[in-house]
Amino acid sequence: MGRTRILVWLAASGVRQGEIVVLHCFRDPHRGWVPSPAAPLVAAHASGRGREVRTGDLDMASEAQTGSATVCAASYIDPRTGLPAGVAIGARADDAGAMAIARDVTESWMAVMRSRRLLLCNGRCGSGCPRIDSSDVVFVVGDAPAEEACGSAVRPEHPRAAATHFVDERMAVAPEWLAGRRDVGAVLGENVRATLVRTLISALDGLGPVVVDPCVPRDGGVGIQEPSSVDAKGNPRHRVPVSGRQSAVARASSPRPTS
């Protein structure tokens, strides 16, 4: 899928002074509507750089138009579905600093788009979980992971002890943590919320196809499931604005070229 990655600048409008907008979804002239399930990671990474960060949607200008805002967008084609996914940030066209942030953050996430395995462990398989030990990077997931739950990940003799990171509701994940890493271990804290786990799985799946490999039963209490067509809020992953949905349906169901 790496060869399908592209970075484009798109015209849009609706960005307010002093902010940047991390998009849930954007329209690429060649790929159509592109969902961005990784938006929570992108928004967290974009914060603290001198602009308010808003997550939402923008009016995307048609190709012939120019907008008051510009969107830096990176996308790839998911080989499982043939559908695009990506990340995108909008900035005012008259705010060079914001545009630089949009480009820097978008490129950072584009650089780590690849297929991955997500090795999920709830810590109940005992210390020295082989899945976690073989991971390239380990995320300890939850607000306050129980000692025993994260023990296997953070014990000093762990071969990846230097590559262990805590991830909570803020979704503060540095893209560098994922660079070149195929096998991502996730140790789930005792009281981790299912929505956090699902949001993280969905977000990682928005950076390239993720295969989830749990060492706990799928009914292990946190609602672990494969990345699905439904996001953490229960919305369809490939939700698109009405006009986009109509054209997508037209493309999918009709052999006629659409105007």
Chain residues in the site for Zn ion (CB under 5 A): 121, 125, 129, 215
Q: How far is the CB of 122 from Zn ion (least distance, A)?
A: 7
> What is d(CA 209, CA 233) in angstroms, rounded to the nearest whole number?
20
Give me the amino acid identity at 164. Answer: T
Q: How far is the CB of 121 from Zn ion (least distance, A)?
A: 3
Look up residue 195 and give its two tokens. 């929505």
**Which one, 121 or 200, has the nearer CB to Zn ion?**
121
Q: How far is the CB of 76 from Zn ion (least distance, A)?
A: 30
**Which one, 124 or 165, has the nearer CB to Zn ion?**
124
**Which one, 87 or 121, has the nearer CB to Zn ion?**
121
For the chain, strand residue ranges (E) read: 6-13, 19-23, 25-28, 32-35, 52-56, 59-60, 69-77, 84-92, 116-121, 137-141, 164-167, 183-188, 210-214
SS3 content of the chain, % helix, strand, coil (to 5): 25, 30, 45
**Which one, 154 or 215, has the nearer CB to Zn ion?**
215
> Side by side, which strands form the sheet with 183-188?
164-167, 137-141, 183-188, 116-121, 210-214
Q: How far is the CB of 130 from Zn ion (least distance, A)?
A: 7
Q: Which residue has the tokens 């070229």?
A: 257
- DSSP 8-state class, residue 208: B
* Three-state DSSP class for residue 8: strand
Gyration radius from the chain CA atoms? 19
Do 12 and 70 contact (CB within 8 A), yes or no? yes
**Which one, 43 or 187, has the nearer CB to Zn ion?**
187
Q: How far is the CB of 173 from Zn ion (least distance, A)?
A: 21
Strand partners, 164: 138
**Which one, 70 or 164, has the nearer CB to Zn ion?**
164
Q: How far is the CB of 214 from Zn ion (least distance, A)?
A: 8
Q: How far is the CB of 209 from Zn ion (least distance, A)?
A: 22
Look up residue 138 and give its two tokens. 């380990």
Give CA 192 to chain center in angstroms.
19
**Which one, 63 or 219, has the nearer CB to Zn ion?**
219
Do 103 and 95 contact (CB within 8 A), yes or no? no
